Amino acid sequence: MTNSEKLFERAQLSIPGGVNSPVRAFKSVGGTPVFMQRAAGAYMYDADGKRYIDYINSWGPMLLGHAYEPVVRAIQQKAIDSTSFGAPTELEIEMAELIISMVPNVDLVRMVSSGTEACMSALRLARGFTGRNKFIKFEGCYHGHADAFLVKAGSGLATFNIQTVPGVTAGASMDTLTAPYNDLEAVAQLVKDNAGEIAAIIIEPVAGNMGCIVPQPGFMEGLRAICDKEGILLIFDEVMTGFRLAAGGAQERLGIRADLVTYGKVIGGGMPVGAFGGRRDIMERIAPLGNVYQAGTLSGNPIAMIAGYTMLKTLKDNPAIYKELDHKTEQLHTGLSEVLGSTGRPFIINRLGSMISVHFSENPVNNFADAAVADNATFNRFFHAMLDRGIYLPPSAYETWFLCNALSDADISETIKAAKESIESL
């Protein structure tokens, strides 16, 4: 029995399902989750000492690799002053100023402690600003586990085949309207059917919770036009894409302005953190300036702030990082295409920037329904074959892969070689 198997048995005695976030349980792909002990650069090492090339990178934030020395050093130095104050610090100002300097169309920023909290707060703000209650989200997009968002939320829920969530009342979800991703006509119909009642449209501008799903040409532009015409706020959930796809996130990469934006992951350099920001006239409705209440004892936590500030400052000062990441992801895409294409097995690879996913499907994967009808059983076998060869992929066909800039050409070559051996072994 491996150490991971022993730890999983032990964990199930004190933690529900043995994990603290459901997808980690490997329910989708089967088998025993791998318990990690340490990580450095592009590699993670499990409880048995085995090395893996990591394509999760803590679900996105390890853009520069694990244990990135400047971030680790900054955390160590800041911890000496205290791990929490519950009072304002100059560092929070510097962090907000840095975000505003990098991101288009953001005038004010409020720090929170998670992406879930950021999305929940942004929706509340949109409702308070517009005086409307309903909002539109997209099937397969995940905006955290706040009650109103757990309607056709993709990823973890899809992994466990959870269609309705016990504990979420009908009242909490009755104002949630859903449309297929990349379906502008469906959005227009919802807006028409609920005229004057919709506060916001919230979307992952590049979806990452049904694999990597890229917006089709004209889709985002169409959403922006509908919002402008109907007085609806457009919220970009950039918890995954923010500061990963570009210094200015998806707004910069796609050339579309959002009214509100939510952040997480990268802005904490791996620490628990989130933020939401946007136009001044909207953000001024948040307490203490306005009457839309939001609070958090650990918001602006100094350890999270210094980790995030160090990470973002590195990205701002070194814009070539994004070109390097794009190039590495393109290398992986090309290599995987050659390997999978040689087998005659149908597949689709979706990619934008340093987000990529493989779907064993004959047809394009442009929304959650497309992802759901792919041959996910083949993905599960492919996952385990890759894991056996030291390649750590997301343990679900409904998750995007994330690359880090610590990956070397040799790492990518090793990954492609493992993919060749894995697909041939199925």
Q: Partners of 108 in the beta sheet? A: 278
- Tokens representing 169 are 């009342």
Give yes or no for a contact between 358 and 391, defined as CB atoms under 8 angstroms apart: no
User: Do residues 244 and 127 share a domain?
Assistant: yes
> Residue 261 phi/psi, 5° resolution?
-135, 140
By annotation, the residues acting in catalysis are 142, 237, 265
pLDDT value for 160: 46
User: What are the mean pLDDT values of the chain's consecutive 10-residue runs (426 residues total)?
Assistant: 95 94 88 96 97 97 96 97 94 97 96 95 97 95 87 52 63 87 97 97 96 97 98 97 96 97 92 96 96 92 96 97 98 97 94 97 96 95 98 95 98 98 95
pLDDT value for 159: 46
User: Do residues 92 and 233 share a domain?
Assistant: yes
User: Do residues 195 and 47 share a domain?
Assistant: no
Q: Using omega within 30 degrees of 0 as the cis cutoff, is the peptide bond preceding 215 cis?
A: no
Determine the Cα–Cα distance for residues 132 and 353; give it in Å rounded to an integer: 35
pLDDT value for 51: 98
Q: What is the CATH number of the domain that holds 331?
A: 3.90.1150.10
**Number of structural domains the chain divides into:** 2
Determine the Cα–Cα distance for residues 267 and 103; give it in Å rounded to an integer: 12
Name the residue range of residue 377's domain.
3-67+319-425
User: Do residues 100 and 244 share a domain?
Assistant: yes
Q: Which of 279, 212, 219, 278 is nearest to 244 (CA)?
A: 212
pTM for the whole thing? 0.94
Q: Which of 159, 171, 104 is nearest to 383 (CA)?
A: 159
pLDDT value for 63: 96
User: Do residues 237 and 252 share a domain?
Assistant: yes
Task: Convert the pLDDT of each residue in 219-278 to its tens digit.
Answer: 999 999 999 999 999 999 999 999 999 999 999 999 999 999 999 989 999 899 999 999
pLDDT value for 152: 60
- Tokens representing 284 are 């001024």
Select from 317, 343, 368 the last residue of a domain.
317
pLDDT value for 164: 60
- Beta-sheet strands, E only, within 88-219: 108-112, 134-138, 176-179, 198-203
User: Do residues 41 and 115 share a domain?
Assistant: no
Q: What is the CATH number of the domain that holds 125?
A: 3.40.640.10
User: Do residues 303 and 335 share a domain?
Assistant: no
Select from 317, 352, 386 the last residue of a domain.
317
User: Do residues 133 and 245 share a domain?
Assistant: yes
User: Do residues 91 and 158 share a domain?
Assistant: yes
DSSP 8-state symbol, 33: P
User: Do residues 78 and 58 share a domain?
Assistant: no
Select from 317, 347, 362 the last residue of a domain.
317
DSSP 8-state symbol, 408: -
> CA angle at residue 136 from 255 to 170, to 5 degrees?
155
- Tokens representing 211 are 């694999």
Q: Which of 261, 193, 198, 262 is nearest to 227 (CA)?
A: 198
User: Do residues 310 and 358 share a domain?
Assistant: no
User: Do residues 355 and 377 share a domain?
Assistant: yes
